[in-house]
Amino acid sequence: MVLYWILGFVLILAVVFALSAQLLTKLRIDSYDFFGRNSLLMYAGTLALLFVAVYWASSHSEVNQQFKLPLSSEHRLVSTAIILLSAISGLLLFKLEAWLISLKIKQQAHAHASVVPYWQKKWFVPVVVSIVLMEEIIWRAYLPLAIFQEWSLSLTWAAVISSLAFGLHHVFFGWIHVVFKSVYGFIWLLMTLSTESLIPAIIAHCAFNFAVYWHSANQTNTSIKGYKEQQG
């Protein structure tokens, strides 16, 4: 039941986003600016609803097992390498996205504008980490397995559907981010399946998010400084 609720919910979000963008355009309101400044709040709110549903439907013991990596003495080097490679992969995905979105300057400027005022707040880091943890539990620990078991699909199709749903949930950030996040979701799910742990995906996801937010805040501050200098 929760499986259908999650998938139906993200589809409804996409429709609501499309209709809202059209309505804002008719009202002569910049939809890029509106969603850019409110996207983080909208996403966090809907993510919390999904997490509550998954929390009550999932097996907590199975989820808890996915927060472990082999840390015995003989595997410590492997675990350290996995952690480092996960962080590097998140940063590389950010660099790739930044390069691709640079072709769409306007959307790049507004995509993460909502995080800029909060970047230096003390609660920003724990909130972002909490969001990543909720995302990984929903989109990597719960949904692929639920699709695999309830629909009797192959693991490949379960991965594709859950990754597309993950991307679609980011619709508030713009359609281009639906594509990007679907790809990232698939990559992070492969990391989870190959290591049998959520830790690599969590690290890569956190590295990606903080790189994006730091870049957005730095870009905005640079633009403001340049504007002030021009004004004399």
C-alpha separations of 10 from 44, 129, 172, 189 in Å: 13, 22, 11, 19
Is the pLDDT reported for residue 201 higher than 90? yes
Amino acid at 122: K
Residue whose entry in the numeric block shows the structure tokens 């983080």: 40
- Listing DSSP states for 158-222 in one string gives HHHHHHHHHHHTTGGG-HHHHHHHHHHHHHHHHHHHHHTSSHHHHHHHHHHHHHHHHHHHHHHHH
Q: What's the pLDDT tens digit per position in 60-77? A: 776 777 887 765 556 778
Is the pLDDT reported for residue 188 higher than 50? yes
Can you say how many angstroms the Cα of residue 40 is from the centroid of all Cα atoms in its chain?
11
Predicted local confidence at residue 224, as pLDDT: 43
> In the 8-state DSSP scheme, what is residue 232?
-
Exposed/middle/buried for residue 9 (C-beta within 10 Å: 0-12, 13-18, 19+): middle
Question: How many whole angstroms separate alpha carbon 212 and alpha carbon 193?
Answer: 25
Question: How many whole angstroms separate alpha carbon 40 and alpha carbon 174?
Answer: 12
Identify the band that residue 166 occupies on the pLDDT scale cut at 50, 70 and 90: very high
Question: How many whole angstroms separate alpha carbon 205 and alpha carbon 180?
Answer: 13
Percent of the chain with pLDDT over 70: 84
Predicted local confidence at residue 221, as pLDDT: 52
Average pLDDT for residues 194-200, to the nearest whole number? Answer: 91
Q: Please, what is the Cα angle at 142 between 10 and 55, to 5 degrees?
A: 85
Question: How many whole angstroms separate alpha carbon 87 and alpha carbon 120?
Answer: 22
pTM to 2 decimal places: 0.86
Predicted local confidence at residue 158, as pLDDT: 95
Is the pLDDT reported for residue 170 higher than 50? yes
Around 170, how many Cα atoms within 13 Å sit in the side-chain half-sphere? 23
Structure tokens at 5: 């609720």
Q: What's the pLDDT tens digit per position in 93-146? A: 999 988 887 776 544 444 455 555 666 677 788 888 999 999 999 999 999 999
- Which of 16-20, 40-44, 55-59, 79-83 is least confident? 55-59
> In the 8-state DSSP scheme, what is residue 116?
G
> Which of 218, 161, 223, 187 shows the shortest CA–CA distance to 8?
161
Structure tokens at 80: 């350290």
Domain extents for the chain?
Answer: 2-61+78-218
Identify the band that residue 56 occupies on the pLDDT scale cut at 50, 70 and 90: confident
pLDDT averaged over the chain? Answer: 83
Predicted local confidence at residue 228, as pLDDT: 44
